Each structure stands twice: as C-alpha cells, then as structure tokens.
Amino acid sequence: MIGVLLVDDHPIVLSGLAALVQSDDGLELQATARSVAEASAVSTTPDVALVDLDLPDGDGISLGAGLKARWPAIRVVVLTMHADDQAVMRSIGAGLDGYLLKDSDPEDILAAIHTVAGGTMVLGRGAKAAVVAAAAVAPRTDGLARLDARELEILELLVQGLTTSQVAARLYLAPKTIRNRVSDLVGKLGVASREDAIEVARALGLRPRR
C-alpha cells in the first residue's frame, strides 16, 4: 500500500484529488494539507506527496525539498496548473521526483503516483516539453553527480546523438556492456528510459566534449 500526502490550497481541488486517491485500491490517503505549515506538521510518514506549486505561505518546490530532508525515502511530485520552465528546472535541481499538470487525465495522475513510488521520475507532457525548451539555458546542477566517470562519458556520447553501437565502438567496449551501463545510469538518474536520461542530462547542462 502506497501512503499519499496531498497538499493544495484549493478545497475543491484537494477534495477531488482525495477522492481520486481513495478510488485506487493500491493507495492510502494518509493526510491532506492546505499550506506549507500544515504539510510540515503532518506526523505520518507518506510514501508519495503531491504538492501544489503555489501555496499561501510558500512554494511546493521548497516544501518538497523540506519533506525529502525530513523523510529521505519520500517521493515528491509537483502538481500545478503551469508548465513553467524555471519551475520544472528548479524541481529537478531540488531532487524532486516529478512534475505534472493539473489537467492531466486522472489515470495519468494515479499512474504517476505508482511510478514515482517505484523510484522512477515522472515528467508530464507539458513538463517534458519545458525541460527540452530549458535545456539550452539551464545551469548544470548536482543531478549528474550520481554517475561515475564512465557513465558520464557514455551519457555525453548519447547526448551527442550516437547509437549504442557507435558508443561501443568509440569506447572500445562491447555493445552489451554499453547497454548495461546505460541501464545503470538510467536507474541512477531515476528516469524511465535512455531518452528521458538524455533530456534530463541536457536540461542539467551536460554538453558533448569538443
């Protein structure tokens, strides 16, 4: 059972999200809150938190970072009306686990909760577009620090557009070895695929070496 915390200052939105979570047999609504203060006072230990971006006493990204500092295992997803480029990048840089728009289909929101609970980052359609749009100007953060030197080298080549076979040839390694290392780095970045890893790497400022 996945325990869920919902944070939104709009009563109608909050009640709708609560009903949605309660409709899923695999989820348990542990708490709701309408502000940073209320969320910070929650005594249970949720597995996933859905947080609004704009709250009356703060913002969801700072709240999410605080929740992760308090409960390192919690997964935090920003749920907002706007796919703002800077907000998407701030959420990734803060180590949050997802960014969704409130106009997402209910099934997609439920699927996102299950996905992030399993350790994979979720970017909604608007958020993923914002990551791509922000890639050219986004500063590099510590998000790539989880990768070792070889994984970073492989990712740089993928960002350059090389295929698995081309990366293998460039590094004098077997294609199977490259596939295994790509799988490892995808896991470390907490994304679903190599394509998502490339998008996040670009968004975090990774550029091919010249």
Most confident of 40-44, 124-128, 202-206: 40-44
- Return the CATH class of domain 142-203: mainly alpha
Which ranges in the chain are annotated with CATH 3.40.50.2300? 2-134
Q: Output the 3-class SS for the chain.
A: CEEEEEECCCHHHHHHHHHHHHCCCCEEEEEEECCHHHHHCCCCCCCEEEECCEECCEEHHHHHHHHHHHCCCCEEEEEECCCCHHHHHHHHHCCCCEEEECCCCHHHHHHHHHHHHCCCCEECHHHHHHHHHHCCCCCCCHHHCCCCHHHHHHHHHHHHCCCHHHHHHHHCCCHHHHHHHHHHHHHHHCCCCHHHHHHHHHHCCCCCCC
CATH superfamily of 2-134: Response regulator (3.40.50.2300)
Average pLDDT score, the chain: 86
Which ranges in the chain are annotated with CATH 1.10.10.10? 142-203
Instruction: Report the range of poorest mean pLDDT among 28-32, 65-69, 92-96, 168-172.
Output: 92-96
pTM of the full structure: 0.68
Instruction: Report the range of poorest mean pLDDT among 37-41, 61-65, 121-125, 167-171.
Output: 121-125
On the question of pLDDT at 135 being above 50, the answer is: no
Instruction: Report the range of poorest mean pLDDT among 17-21, 138-142, 160-164.
Output: 138-142
Check residue 98 and give its pLDDT. Answer: 87
Region 139-143 average pLDDT: 48
